[in-house]
Amino acid sequence: MNSFMKVLGITIVVMVLLLSLPTILPKKAPKELSDAMLRERALSTNMLPVPKTYEALLKVVDNPDNLMSKEKIALGKELFFDPLLSQDKDISCASCHKLKEGGDDNLPTAIGHQGQANPSHLNSPTLLNAALAKSQFWDGRAKDVEEQAGGPIQAPFEMHMTPQEVVARLNDHQAYPAKFKEVFDAQGVTFKQVRNAIGAYERTLLTRGAYDRFLEGDNDAISPQAKRGMTLFLTAGCKGCHTGMSVGGQSIQKFPLRSYFADYIGLLYSPDITLKESPFPFENVGGFLGRDDTLRFRVPVLRNVTKTAPYFHNGSVEKLEEAVRIMSKYQIGNEFTPKQIDDVVAFLKTLEGELVEYEIK
């Protein structure tokens, strides 16, 4: 038995070494791009700056099925911050989406009605720049922010309301019926109108920062380190998923894409070999496995990612540096060095931004 275990151990070590060759062999020197080349590389792949004006905003985010207007946006903003839409009148959309703190709640899992945690231990994705994404929620089940807006209101562990209860409360309100009539030109409030008003407001929640200024031609907007990180981001494979004006949110992708034999073995020389239980490179808190349990997730929006810790769907990773390392290893298949990770994080910091104060007409 001892000789068998020794042979087994040697075999495992050899396999681990073979599978680890990509990380052992010398890496190619990182590409170097001039400011102009770096900018063009981003712009050519639709990584565009956020618009500055309301007219330009409409061209990017307006919904033909829910046309934006000053009055509709104002109504949506009021509803977004109003706890009247929750069962105990103590939670609003803004409770889990703190717009001045990254657009999420910085908790590992969302907390809703009477202190209930999300049963799948899912945290709150940011709403900042969410209108630029092609789908909403971690599994991408909602097609747009209008559809998304109705989900948390109805979830029993979030705001715990039915559409009928929402409509009844708003119709009985002193001011809301007149506001809805002005915006939608119809008698009585409907739940679809509630979703559309909130969605119209959420379409204005776009941010701009140093990254946008660099894309628009200001070479001094970001540091040399951030430029190295941006170069790596664009050339190593990150932009394959994290693309578009939102730097993410454009597709549904499998995660993790790659697996490593070494992850599945605990003690190489022990008869009590421990196999990896989580399909993720972190603890599988909550048991959520993505869309239809296929490990497919909506790619997160990276704008303001430095403000939205903890990371991943169940908030299992506290540090952005660790999140970058995990993504480089398990999605790209080429684990970044500590220096490369620092460079990428420096670039991600340029994606921080302030809400654009659009002059809405």
Among 22, 267, 258, 286, which Cα is nearest to 138's?
286
Helices (H), 20-69: 21-24, 35-43, 54-61
**Phi and psi, residue 315, nearest 5°:** 65, 30
- Do residues 302 and 242 make contact, with C-beta atoms less than 8 angstroms apart? yes
Helix (H) or strand (E) holding 212: helix 210-215
Give all strands (DSSP E) within the chain, no chain letters.
Answer: 207-208, 252-254, 296-298, 354-355
Helix (H) or strand (E) holding 228: helix 224-235
Q: How many helices (H) and strands (E) does the chain have?
A: 14, 4
Give all strands (DSSP E) within 201-321, no chain letters.
Answer: 207-208, 252-254, 296-298
Among 198, 148, 146, which Cα is nearest to 170's?
198
Provide the 10 A C-beta neighbour count for residue 344: 27
Long-range contacts, 75-80 (Cβ 8 Å, 24+): 75/179, 75/180, 75/183, 75/197, 75/201, 76/196, 76/197, 76/198, 76/199, 76/200, 76/201, 76/202, 77/201, 78/179, 79/194, 79/197, 79/198, 79/201, 80/198, 80/201, 80/202
Catalytic, out of 55, 158, 318, 322: 158
Helix (H) or strand (E) holding 8: helix 2-19
In the chain, what are the helix, strand and coil shares in percent, each to the nearest 5? 45, 5, 50
Provide the 10 A C-beta neighbour count for residue 58: 16
Q: Residue 70 has which token pair?
A: 């000053």
Q: Is 158 among the residues known to form the active site?
A: yes
Q: Residue 149 has which token pair?
A: 């807006």
Collapsing DSSP to helix, strand or coil, 52 comes out as coil
Active-site annotation, residues: 158
